[in-house]
Amino acid sequence: MNEIILYIHSLLRWLVLGFLIWSLIISYNGWTFKRHVTGKENRIYLLALIIAHIQLLVGITNLILNLTIAEFPGGFGTVMKDAHLRFFFVEHPLLMLIGVAILTIGRIYSKKIFNSYRMHKRYFIFLVISLIVIFYSIPWPFSAIPRPLIPWIIP
């Protein structure tokens, strides 16, 4: 069960990143060319937010399953001393929660000025901040705590 949730979580990362980068491109073009927000663009922004929230829920489910399976003889101090455990049980979930929260706040604030090119600008700024946090907290193969890029290769 845990491997299935991890597989779904790892696979959804590409969908989330794809929609967030697509939203980033749309918001940048809308901001620079001073275009009003169309219904299609608004739906893409909303879909990116929904997929990011689904990914967050799958990640929280994965975290809860891992916490119930894992036994730490030294308690939480053991987790904080081990870089690998600290990343997957503390840093990654916390930073992803912050990244999705920034994305949600950006969506809320940009909706207040719907149908204006300023919505693109505001959403672009929040998207950049959110993507920086999300990119930083993804366990890339070249990072200190690596994970494979292909989701069906589960270590």
Question: Is 149 contained in some domain?
Answer: no
35 phi and psi angles, rounded to 5 deg:
-95, 150
Task: Specify if 6 maps to a domain.
Answer: yes
Question: In what helix (H) or strand (E) does residue 155 lie, and over which residues does it extend?
Answer: none
Q: Which helix (H) or strand (E) holds 41?
A: helix 39-69
What is the total count of domains within the chain? Answer: 1
User: Digits of tens for pLDDT over the chain (155 positions)?
Assistant: 778 888 899 889 999 999 999 999 999 999 999 888 888 998 999 999 999 999 999 999 999 988 877 777 777 788 888 888 889 889 999 999 999 999 999 999 988 886 688 899 999 999 999 999 999 998 888 888 877 777 665 55
Give the Å distances, CA to CA, from 99 to 51, 71, 94, 134: 13, 29, 9, 6
Structural domain contains residue 82: yes
Domain membership of residue 154 (yes or no) is no
Domain with 74, as residue range(s), is 2-137
| Structure token digits, residue 80 | 């904080």
| DSSP 8-state assignment for residue 80 | H
